[in-house]
């Protein structure tokens, strides 16, 4: 992106300069072409006068050809050059008579060619003031002046018979005369403007004297020539006129040459300037690019590298959880401050994490204590129940016996209930002890069906009270299981009590408790206890085996927790699923230990 | 005071989900000659027709399906006024405070002393008997009052407000003899032994002296 921007900038800069350079180079070509024209004028006006040989004209022709070839088609001058060449050949072929039309024709063609060269070679579009006014002199004014000098000389000489000077001819001379003066004035104006546009004044130094000479010579010629035309002043010697003419033409050509070389010099100067400016621009762009790359490098070193280290540390901490890692960056810049903040944040995180861990272990301790408290409350309740019955029965028995006629039957019944309750209390204690005793010393081989029958008998009064119909489906010939009788009793009693509780709220259908046993596979027995009660909420199903979880207003939430731990200590599984139509089905799988049996 | 309401024998209701404790309590109350009905749940108790006899309720605070405290609140809402003795397996102070505030007679922790239980039950039965007597006396008074003619009611109001026979006659625009006859009827029909007795009855009935 950056490099593309740099490339585009450089390219547009170079292209712009190259266009300006091409422009100036084309001007140079035009200027050189004009030098050839100047030579042609020299030959036409000077040497023709002196019966100049055809060889001079041939020289000029070949020089023209060379100049045209040099322009190499960049100027659209070939047609005009051909016409000029034809005019020159005509001039060479014609006799050197005064007022030769071939001469005038050649002059006219030369001027047209000069103007075309000026137009096509960008000279007339020159952007600088000094070169613009200078080229204007060279392209337009000097050819005009030379052409008019030539015309004036031809017409002024007339046919050699002064009396035959026609009025028209005189008028023509007068017009040419005044045109020449105006041209000279324009040349002077252009020079003044060119000098003003030339900042270092070198132009003026080089050409002022030459042009001054030219102007004075032209003025001299005009005054000598005008005397001959008017005829009022003393007749001028023809040779004097001719001499002043030659001086005027010569100095004009010299001025042209000087101006030409100055124009070339200024154009070359401009091309050099453009080249050096282009080099400077390229240098500047290069320097900027280098600076940018340097800054990018510094950015990378001072920002990207530390950021990568930040990232690496953050990643390492998230992987290793080692919060003691720190970012090492002592600089006082933004990155240094960021590193400080980053390290402080890490310290905070580590402290928060430590606090979390402490709080968590504290919470776990409280939870253990709560569980213990709840368990002891639950145990107290389980024991208190038979104890209360025992105490009450004892009191009742005492009162029956204390009557004036002791009622022995009632007392005996109370004592029997006391014995039952005493056994019940001891079973509760035994099962609690067994729950927390991990060894399997109390395990004996027992029949599951016998155990179920026992438990149902024990629960029968409670079930009858709640009008529960018990339906059993016990498979025959089940293998025995090695189990702790009291623990297993406790589990089944708990499940049956739960089933009973779940049905108390149901009033629109008979209460049915289904208990079944079957061989699940070769080495395990499945016991199910199913009620048609209110069922378990979906949201509670995962939690019913948790300690302290209960849906009962008066429950401790220990029953199923203890049941599950008992079954698991027997290597079995206990789970709950919804009943077939209503209620809940508890499934209990016990291993038969068949391998030991065999 | 008639003694006819006392003919129904006092009755103790026990609600506890533990069978053996129910049996024990039945035996204990029977041994002191108290009638007892046992229930394993609140719902079962509610299905039973309440007797006219003075009664009280011995309630376990942990009941299947519903806590004893909630049951107490439900009974109060249904305007069933029966003294309640709570039993709990593990005493906890907030629970007992709540129960006592709601008007429980006693809050006993299992296992309890038999005398405490019997005392609590006797206290509950006494409260219920008194409440019932108050209610029946009042209803008898009302029934007597309804036997009066409108004129006799007016006479009773004026007499109990402290007016002389002559004044009563003036108020009602009748002869003094007629007023005297009405007053005699009122005293007889209401079974009052004196004017003071009649005034007390008028207060209990909430009679107000008509504006003169």
Q: Do A392 and B24 touch (CB under 8 A)?
A: yes
B70: nearest CA partner in chain A = A553
**Backbone φ and ψ of B106, nearest 5°:** -155, 160
Q: Which of B22, B110, B113, B116 to mutate to test the interface with A (most CBs of A within 10 A)?
A: B110
Q: Do A396 and B20 touch (CB under 8 A)?
A: no
A458: nearest CA partner in chain B = B19
The CA distance from B94 to the nearest CA of chain A, in Å, is 15
The CA distance from A533 to the nearest CA of chain B, in Å, is 12
The pLDDT value given to residue B14? 94
Q: CA angle at residue B152 from B146 to B153, to 5 degrees?
A: 55
The CA distance from B67 to the nearest CA of chain A, in Å, is 6
Residues of A in contact with B95 (CB under 8 A): none
Burial B25-57 (b: 16+ CB within 10 A, else e): bbbbbbbeebebebbbbbbebeeeeeeebbbbb
CA distance B103 to B84: 8
The CA distance from B76 to the nearest CA of chain A, in Å, is 20
Please name the residue ranges forming H helices in B161-193: 165-172, 176-190
Chain A contact for B65 (CB, 8 A cutoff): yes
For helices A2-42 and A101-120, give the axis angle rounded to 10 degrees.
170
Give Cα separations from A585 to A422, A485, A516, B65, B148 (angstroms): 32, 22, 11, 19, 69
3 state DSSP class of A194: helix
A381: nearest CA partner in chain B = B89
Question: Which of the residue ranges A261-265, A272-276, A285-289, A577-581 would you say has the lowest mean pLDDT?
Answer: A577-581
Residues of A in contact with B25 (CB under 8 A): 392
Q: Do B111 and A380 touch (CB under 8 A)?
A: no
Band the pLDDT of A598: cuts 50, 70, 90: very low
Give Cα separations from A67 to A35, A518, B65 (angstroms): 9, 125, 126
Residue A530 pairs in a beta bridge with A514, A585
Band the pLDDT of B85: cuts 50, 70, 90: very high
Q: Do B44 and A465 touch (CB under 8 A)?
A: yes
Q: CA angle at residue A320 from A315 to A321, to 5 degrees?
A: 95
Q: CA angle at residue B26 from B24 to B31, to 5 degrees?
A: 95
| A161: CB partners within 8 A, 6+ apart | none
A577: DSSP letter:
E
Residues of A in contact with B28 (CB under 8 A): 392-393, 395-396, 399
HSE (side-chain half, CA atoms, 13 Å) at A416:
8
Percent of chain A with pLDDT over 70: 86
Q: Do A553 and B66 touch (CB under 8 A)?
A: yes
pLDDT mean over A17-21: 86
The CA distance from A498 to the nearest CA of chain B, in Å, is 10
> Which of B19, B43, B111 minimises the CB distance to A384?
B111
Residues B4-39 pLDDT 10s: 444 578 999 999 888 889 999 999 999 999 999 999
The pLDDT value given to residue B3? 42
3 state DSSP class of B64: coil
Residue A357, pLDDT above cutoff 70: yes
> Which of B27, B43, B62 minimises the CB distance to A504?
B43
Band the pLDDT of B182: cuts 50, 70, 90: very high
The pLDDT value given to residue A51? 52
| A597: CB partners within 8 A, 6+ apart | A479, A480
Band the pLDDT of A18: cuts 50, 70, 90: confident
Residues A519-528 pLDDT 10s: 888 888 999 9
CA distance B154 to B182: 10
Q: Do A395 and B114 touch (CB under 8 A)?
A: yes
Chain A contact for B31 (CB, 8 A cutoff): yes
Question: Which of the residue ranges A163-172, A332-341, A421-430, B162-171 would you say has the lowest mean pLDDT?
Answer: A163-172
pLDDT mean over A351-360: 82
Q: Which of B16, B27, B69 to mutate to test the interface with A (most CBs of A within 10 A)?
A: B27
The pLDDT value given to residue B208? 67
Q: Do A500 and B64 touch (CB under 8 A)?
A: yes
Q: Do A385 and B89 touch (CB under 8 A)?
A: yes
Residue A526 pairs in a beta bridge with A518, A589
B16: nearest CA partner in chain A = A385
Residue A163, pLDDT above cutoff 50: no
Cis peptide before B111 (omega within 30 of 0): yes
ipTM value for the complex:
0.71
Q: Do B40 and A420 touch (CB under 8 A)?
A: no
Residues B158-176 pLDDT 10s: 999 888 989 999 988 999 9
Q: Do A400 and B18 touch (CB under 8 A)?
A: no
Handedness of CA B200, B201, B202, B204 (dihedral sign): positive
The pLDDT value given to residue B127? 92
CA distance A251 to A214: 5
Residue A510, pLDDT above cutoff 50: yes
Residues B103-118 pLDDT 10s: 899 999 888 899 999 9
Residue A483 pairs in a beta bridge with A444
The pLDDT value given to residue A390? 93
Q: Do A399 and B32 touch (CB under 8 A)?
A: yes
Q: Across all residues in chain B, what is the average pLDDT?
A: 86
Measure the CA dihedral A60/A63/A64/A69, to 10°.
170
Q: Are A180 and A147 a contacting pair, CB within 8 Å?
A: no
| B residues 93-122 lying closer than 8 A (beta carbon) to A | 110-114, 117
Residues A241-278 pLDDT 10s: 778 888 888 888 888 888 888 888 888 888 898 889 88
Q: Across all residues in chain A, what is the average pLDDT?
A: 81
The pLDDT value given to residue A359? 77
Chain A contact for B198 (CB, 8 A cutoff): no
The pLDDT value given to residue A233? 46
> Which of B20, B40, B117 minimises the CB distance to A420?
B20
Residues of B in contact with A466 (CB under 8 A): 40-41
3 state DSSP class of A440: coil
Q: Do B19 and A461 touch (CB under 8 A)?
A: yes
Burial A393-404 (b: 16+ CB within 10 A, else e): bbbbbebbeeee
pLDDT mean over A523-542: 84
Question: Which of the residue ranges A45-49, A147-151, A356-360, A481-485 would you say has the lowest mean pLDDT?
Answer: A45-49
> Which of B61, B62, B114 minimises the CB distance to A392?
B114
Residues A206-231 pLDDT 10s: 888 888 888 888 888 888 776 655 55
Q: Which of B12, B16, B20 to mutate to test the interface with A (most CBs of A within 10 A)?
A: B20
CA distance A259 to A580: 122
Question: Which of the residue ranges A39-43, A549-553, B55-59, B100-104 would you say has the lowest mean pLDDT?
Answer: A549-553
The CA distance from B114 to the nearest CA of chain A, in Å, is 6
Chain A contact for B25 (CB, 8 A cutoff): yes
The pLDDT value given to residue B91? 64
Residues of B in contact with A422 (CB under 8 A): none
CA distance A83 to A130: 32
Q: Do B110 and A384 touch (CB under 8 A)?
A: yes
Cβ neighbours around B5 below 10 Å, total: 16
Chain A positions with Cβ closer than 8 Å to B: 377, 380-381, 384-393, 395-397, 399-400, 403, 407, 410, 413-414, 417, 420-421, 424, 461-462, 465-466, 500-501, 504-505, 552-554
Residue B98, pLDDT above cutoff 80: yes
A409: nearest CA partner in chain B = B27
CA distance A29 to A46: 26
Q: Do B25 and A424 touch (CB under 8 A)?
A: no
B62: nearest CA partner in chain A = A554
B20: nearest CA partner in chain A = A389
| B residues 3-22 lying closer than 8 A (beta carbon) to A | 17-21
CA distance A267 to A261: 10
């Amino acid at each position: 992106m950056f490099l593309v921007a740099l490339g585009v900038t450089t390219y547009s800069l170079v292209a712009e300069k190259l266009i300006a350079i091409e422009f100036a180079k084309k001007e140079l070509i035009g200027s050189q072409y004009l030098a050839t024209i100047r030579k042609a004028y020299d030959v036409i006006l000077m040497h023709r006068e002196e019966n100049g040989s055809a060889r001079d004209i041939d020289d000029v022709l070949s020089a023209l050809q060379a100049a045209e070839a040099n322009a190499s088609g960049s100027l659209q001058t070939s047609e005009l050059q051909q016409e000029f060449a034809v005019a020159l050949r005509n001039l060479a072929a014609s006799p050197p008579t005064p007022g030769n039309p071939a001469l005038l024709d050649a002059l006219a063609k030369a001027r047209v060619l000069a103007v075309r060269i000026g137009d096509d070679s960008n000279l007339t579009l020159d952007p600088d003031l000094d070169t613009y006014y200078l080229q204007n002199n060279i392209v337009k004014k000097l050819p005009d002046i030379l052409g008019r000098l030539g015309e004036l000389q031809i017409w002024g000489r007339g046919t050699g018979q002064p009396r035959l000077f026609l009025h028209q001819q005189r008028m023509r001379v007068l017009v040419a005369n005044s045109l020449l003066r105006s041209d000279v004035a324009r040349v002077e104006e252009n020079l003044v403007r060119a000098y003003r546009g030339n900042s270092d004044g070198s132009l003026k130094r080089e050409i002022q004297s030459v042009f001054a000479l030219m102007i004075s010579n032209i003025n001299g010629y005009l005054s000598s020539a005008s005397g001959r035309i008017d005829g009022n002043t003393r007749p001028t010697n023809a040779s004097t006129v001719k001499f002043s003419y030659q001086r005027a033409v010569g100095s004009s050509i010299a001025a042209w040459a000087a101006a030409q070389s100055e124009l070339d010099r200024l154009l070359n100067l401009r091309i050099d300037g453009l080249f050096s400016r282009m080099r400077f621009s390229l240098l500047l762009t290069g320097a900027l690019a280098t600076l940018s790359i340097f800054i990018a490098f510094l950015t990378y070193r001072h920002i990207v590298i530390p950021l990568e280290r930040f990232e690496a540390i953050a990643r390492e901490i998230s992987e290793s959880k080692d919060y003691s890692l720190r970012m090492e960056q002592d600089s006082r810049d933004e990155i240094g401050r960021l590193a400080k903040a980053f390290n402080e944040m890490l310290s905070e995180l580590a402290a928060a994490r430590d606090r979390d861990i402490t709080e968590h272990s504290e919470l776990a301790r409280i939870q253990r204590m709560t569980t213990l408290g709840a368990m002891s409350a639950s145990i107290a309740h389980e024991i208190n129940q038979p104890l209360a019955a025992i105490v009450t029965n004892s009191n009742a028995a005492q009162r029956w016996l204390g009557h004036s006629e002791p009622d022995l039957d009632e007392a005996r019944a109370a004592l029997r209930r006391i014995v039952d309750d005493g056994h019940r209390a001891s079973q509760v204690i035994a099962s609690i002890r067994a729950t927390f005793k991990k060894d399997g010393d109390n395990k004996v081989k027992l029949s599951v069906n016998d155990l179920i029958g026992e438990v149902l008998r024990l629960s029968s009064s409670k079930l009858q009270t709640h009008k529960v119909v018990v339906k059993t489906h016990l498979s025959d010939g089940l293998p025995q299981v090695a189990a702790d009788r009291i623990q297993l009793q406790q589990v089944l009693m708990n499940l049956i009590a739960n089933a009973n509780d779940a049905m108390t709220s149901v009033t629109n259908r008979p209460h049915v408790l289904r208990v079944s046993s079957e061989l699940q596979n070769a080495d395990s027995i499945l016991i199910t206890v199913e009620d048609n009660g209110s069922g378990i909420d979906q949201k509670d199903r995962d939690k019913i085996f948790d300690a302290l979880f209960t849906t009962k207003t008066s429950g401790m939430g220990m029953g199923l927790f203890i049941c599950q731990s008992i079954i698991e200590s027997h290597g079995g599984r206990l789970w709950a699923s919804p009943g077939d139509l209503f209620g809940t089905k508890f499934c209990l799988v016990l291993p038969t230990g068949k391998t030991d049996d065999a | 005071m008639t003694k006819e309401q006392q003919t129904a024998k006092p009755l103790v209701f026990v609600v506890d989900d533990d069978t053996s404790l129910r049996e024990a309590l039945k035996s204990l109350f029977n041994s002191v000659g108290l009638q007892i009905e046992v229930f394993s749940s609140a719902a079962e108790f509610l299905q039973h027709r309440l007797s006219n006899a003075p009664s009280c309720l011995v309630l376990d605070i942990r009941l299947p399906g519903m806590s004893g405290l909630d049951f107490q609140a439900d009974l109060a809402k249904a305007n069933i006024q029966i003294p309640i003795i709570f039993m709990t397996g593990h005493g906890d102070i907030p629970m007992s405070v709540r129960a006592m505030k709601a008007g429980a007679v006693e809050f006993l922790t299992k296992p309890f002393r038999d005398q405490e239980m019997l005392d609590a039950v006797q206290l509950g039965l006494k409260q219920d008997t008194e409440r019932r007597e108050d209610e029946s006396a009042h209803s008898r008074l009302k029934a007597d009052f309804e036997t009066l003619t409108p004129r006799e009611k007016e006479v009773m109001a004026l007499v109990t407000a402290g007016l002389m026979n002559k004044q009563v006659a003036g108020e009602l625009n009748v002869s003094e003899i007629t007023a005297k006859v009405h007053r005699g009827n009122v005293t007889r029909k209401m079974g009052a032994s004196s004017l003071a007795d009649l005034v007390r009855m008028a207060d209990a009935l909430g009679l107000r002296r008509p504006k003169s």
